[in-house]
Amino acid sequence: MLKKFIIWLKGYLIICLSGNSKDRTINLCLKNGINIWRISESDGCKTIYISKNGYKELIPYLEKTGTKAEIIDKKGMPYLFFRYKKRKIFLLGLLLFFGIIYSFSFFIWDINISGEKIYTDEQIIQTLNDYNIRIGTAKGKINCTELEKSLRAEYDDIAWISCELKGTRLNISINETIAPDMIKENTVPCNIVAAKDGLITDIYIESGTRVAGKGDEVKKGDILITGAINLYNDYDELIETSYVPANGQIYAVVSYEYHDSFSMDYYEKEYTGNQKKYFGLIIGDKAIKLPKSNKKYNNYDIATDEIRLKLGSFFYLPVSVKKSRVMEYEPVLKKYTDKEADMKARNKLNAYIEELNKKGVEILENNVKIEINGDICKADGTIVTKELIGIPADITIINQGEEADGIY
């Protein structure tokens, strides 16, 4: 996106090459680094896109090969200025517009959170705000590696977090378990630590030194494989310590506490068909409400669609259009039968287990019991799994005569 914008700023030409040496001319351009693209041929004409400066470099090769070049069109800001040179206010406004768009590229204007089930997006956003990361933050102030470590430390139930800046969007991917396809080979010195409490069943080491073994109970944060390799002499005296990227896969039995409850009484919504719509704008993190109807409903649902304006796939702008639909309903009190309540509790439990299965977790035991006590249906117990628990973490490197440095 930015590359195309820069080409537009400098200007480019659409040219038709004709003659017997068209291909030779194009090869000379490519060989000598002249910027051409979108090469096509039709009716004996070779059409190419070439930068304004590239066209000047092309002329000697046209004379050398005897190729004719016809300019079909001129594109970009220099030619736009020439075309509208008498409309100075328009040109200044256009230049200001593109200057503002370019300045937007240095900030994040959208935060996308995916993968989390236990915590809400609002909770994660609030944590980011506590770290001074919000809509409008300069991208240069965001260190994705440090942000990942901070979020992992903040949320105990999260096994893996990945942060990525793409265009003007900050993507945060959260997983409660570590799927096999998430394991990547580490390339800098590090340890492998436990992402959660568990009982190790299997440990496969590719590099580094084993710290924990099969049958060990480990806590979150315990070192499982260290990247520190010690070299001893014949008298068991430490001679040297080298540091490598620790790599390996560690499987453990992990127990999840499951608790859920709901009332046997519930309200079912019967929609009346009455509804109203209204629109609003969101600029940055400020909402601007447009005039709406004064008619009010006693009971209603609001369905909201927010359209974030963007250029291309990842260049988000700090402007959103918000469309809300207010639908009136009448609440009708109903009560679950024991069978209906049991089915609802089992469906919620199965959905929770299905989410674990999607992440490559092997379910070993389901010890959840569903009971109905009066007006409350409860589901309590544990789910025992076998899963990957090893994740990379900082290693403290100690150089002789120097203080320890933590790196990742």
Nearest to 176 by CA among 115, 225, 238: 115
Confidence of residue 403 (pLDDT cuts 50, 70, 90): very low
Res 408 pLDDT > 50? no
Tell me how far apart the alpha carbons of residues 75 and 256 are, in angstroms, rounded to a whole number: 61
**pLDDT tens digits along 269-318:** 999 989 888 888 877 667 776 666 666 888 888 888 878 777 767 777 77
Q: Which residue has the higher pLDDT, 8 or 228?
A: 228
Per-domain residue ranges of the chain? 2-83, 110-175, 189-263+336-390, 265-334
Beta bridge partners of 287: 282
What pLDDT was estimated at residue 405? Answer: 46
Which tens digit of pLDDT belongs to each residue from 84-111? 665 666 667 767 777 777 787 888 888 8
Contacts of 1 (CB under 8 A, 6+ apart): 167, 311, 312, 314, 315
Could you report the per-residue pLDDT of 197-234, keeping only the tens digit for each?
Answer: 999 999 999 999 999 999 999 999 899 999 998 888 88
Residue 141 has pLDDT above 70, yes or no: yes
Q: What share of the chain is helix, strand, coil (3-state, %, to 5)?
A: 25, 45, 25
Query: Pick the residue with more confidence: 86 or 190?
Result: 190
The CA-based diameter of the chain, rounded to the nearest angstrom, is 95
Q: What's the CATH fold of domain 110-175?
A: Ubiquitin-like (UB roll) (3.10.20)
Are the CB atoms for 244 and 229 separated by under 8 Å? yes
pLDDT digits (tens, 9 = 90+) for 347-356: 999 999 998 8
Task: Work out the average pLDDT over 174-195.
Answer: 75
pLDDT tens column, 329-387: 999 999 999 999 999 999 999 999 998 888 788 999 999 999 999 899 999 999 999 99
Q: What are phi and psi of 116, to 5 degrees?
A: -90, 135
The pLDDT of residue 103: 81
Cα–Cα distance measured from residue 88 to residue 136, given in angstroms and rounded to the nearest whole number: 31
Asked whether residue 118 carries a pLDDT value surpassing 80, the answer given is no
Residue 188's pLDDT band (boundaries 50, 70, 90)? confident
Which comes out higher in pLDDT, residue 199 or 136?
Answer: 199
Beta carbons within 8 Å of 373's beta carbon, 6+ residues apart: none
Q: Does the domain at residues 2-83 carry the CATH identifier 3.40.50.300?
A: no
pLDDT for 407:
46
| Tokens coding 113 | 């959170």
* Cα 185 from Cα 247, distance rounded (Å): 6
Beta pairing partners, 199: 217, 253
Tokens linked to 63? 């004379």
List Cα–Cα distances, 295 to 181, 276, 298, in angstroms: 53, 9, 10
Residues paired with residue 202 on neighbouring β-strands, in sequence order: 251
Helix extents (H) in 290-337:
none
pLDDT of residue 245: 92
The CA-atom distances, in angstroms, between 129 and each of 111, 122, 137, 344, 357 are 12, 10, 10, 36, 32
Of 179, 145, 180, nearest to 162 by C-alpha is 145
Give the Å distances, CA to CA, from 223 to 23, 38, 246, 278, 387. Answer: 62, 54, 11, 55, 17
More confident: 241 or 101: 241
b/e for 96-115, b at 16 or more Cβ within 10 A? eeeeeeeebeebbbbbebee
Fold match, 2-83 / 110-175: no
pLDDT reading at 401 higher than 80: no
Reported pTM: 0.55
User: 208 and 226 in contact (C-beta within 8 Å)?
Assistant: yes
CA angle 71, 73, 78 (to 5 degrees): 105
Rounded to the nearest integer, the mean pLDDT of the chain is 83
Which tops the pLDDT comparison, 1 or 13?
13
Locate 166 and state its tokens: 């793409």
What is residue 404's predicted lDDT score, i.e. its pLDDT? Answer: 43
Q: Cα Rg for the chain, rounded, in angstroms?
A: 31
Nearest alpha carbon to residue 11 among 75, 99, 82: 75
